[in-house]
Amino acid sequence: MHPQPAYRIPDARYALRPSRPVLPLLAYGTLGLSSCVTVKEPAPFDLLALLLMVAYVLRNRTDPLHRRADASSVQIVFLLLLFALLQFLPILLSAHDVATSAFFAAVTGFLVLLGIHLASLAGRRDPRFAAFIAGYAAAAVFSSLLAIASLHPAVASLAPETLHFAGRPKALFKDPNVLGPYLVPAVLIFLVLAGRTHGWTRLAFLVLHLLCSAGVAVTASRAAWVNLAIVMGLFLLLAPGRYKLLSAFAVLACATVLVTTADDLQRHESVRSTLNLLDGRLGLQHYDAERFEMAHRAWRIGMDNPAGVGPGLVTTYRGDRTLAPHNTYLRIFAEHGAAGLVALAFALLMVTMRVLGQLLRSGRGRGRNIWFTAALCMLAGLLVNASVVDALHWRHFWLVLAVGAFVSAQPAATAAVRWSSQGRHELRSAQ
């Protein structure tokens, strides 16, 4: 009997074994790939996700989640479902626009269920989750390429309203402040994969790591920059030495290329305009004071309405159309009430403590599980990012929560491994 291995996300080779049904893998890979197209609502991602969740429920009617999940997983799911249900309390009590509020509540409920669904796949090491992550990573690469290419006037002129917002690249998203954080998990995923491979494959993953990092940079989203800095700083602090060396090598190689080509690059108008854009985003913006005021307004609304004013209604409270609070937690407090905020806060705290606990138990130094490290870093960056942007309805917000909640789930804390006669590891339940 071999010792229990540390958990890892199933890789593509496992997902695409001949014994695995190809159609579900393609469906979940397509779901991940479609996550980069959110210009119009409902997005293709939403429609496909709804179809796949319904199909999953119909095929697993006799095998509900609670039979496979441990107590901690059930508690997290309970808190998330409680948060989704508490949305309807302010709708019944005080919402001035019931239809709009019910719509936003339905959207939030859908995203909660999507997060739970993806989490259940990740927790069971289902190859469909690996296919979804592969699709997401490919979508992040595509979005980075499109954002960088759209800096050139010839590309931007093809669809200026689709590719740019206020002069900033947004690819096929509605806002650069959504695109930037969307790319951050991919930056870390490609660095982890580079550390787990060798040769040309490692080099290819390092190039993709730098490409997605550049994609985050050109969005000119200050929140995304902080998100990336937290994720990479914490990861390099916790990860084994080879990841520090890989990151240093990638940064040094990139800096060398930029320094040696700086004179040629600055001759291009698109490069100069990009540098001016990034330089202008380093300081306070003219609307920052108004954002702080809107955050304070959301706090006052929450204090005056303990049950909340209703999902989606904080910007039109008492008929005054204003900017969004640009703070996920204050928006939830104002719209969903104190009970909704507490339910979600406890769920986020449990997810974070769960990942941290699994990370500490997985070992030290080189023996530490790298996916637990990555999950913790993604969570830390996302939770800080959510304090300066409304992130509740980001699809990737719930993806990162799903990874954090159930990448560390071992309904398995019980899974045993045996060595088959063919020399391959096969999972079997030890429950």
Q: Which of 200, 206, 299, 309 is CA-nearest to residue 249?
A: 206
Tokens of 422: 């063919």
Q: Could you say which residues of the chain have pLDDT below 70?
A: 1-20, 61-69, 95, 258-259, 261-272, 274-281, 283-288, 319-322, 365-367, 406-431
Q: How far apart are CA 425 and CA 360, in angstroms?
A: 25
Q: How far apart are CA 365 and CA 346, in angstroms?
A: 30
Specify the pLDDT at position 340. Answer: 94
Specify the pLDDT at position 192. Answer: 93
pTM for this model (two decimals): 0.85
Tokens of 114: 């999507």
Q: How far apart are CA 374 and CA 355, in angstroms?
A: 10
Is the C-alpha dihedral spanning 197, 199, 204, 208 positive or negative?
A: positive
- Number of H helices and number of E strands within the chain? 20, 4
Q: What is the DSSP string of 218-248?
A: HTT-HHHHHHHHHHHHHHHHHS-HHHHHHHH
Specify the pLDDT at position 431. Answer: 31
Specify the pLDDT at position 14. Answer: 46
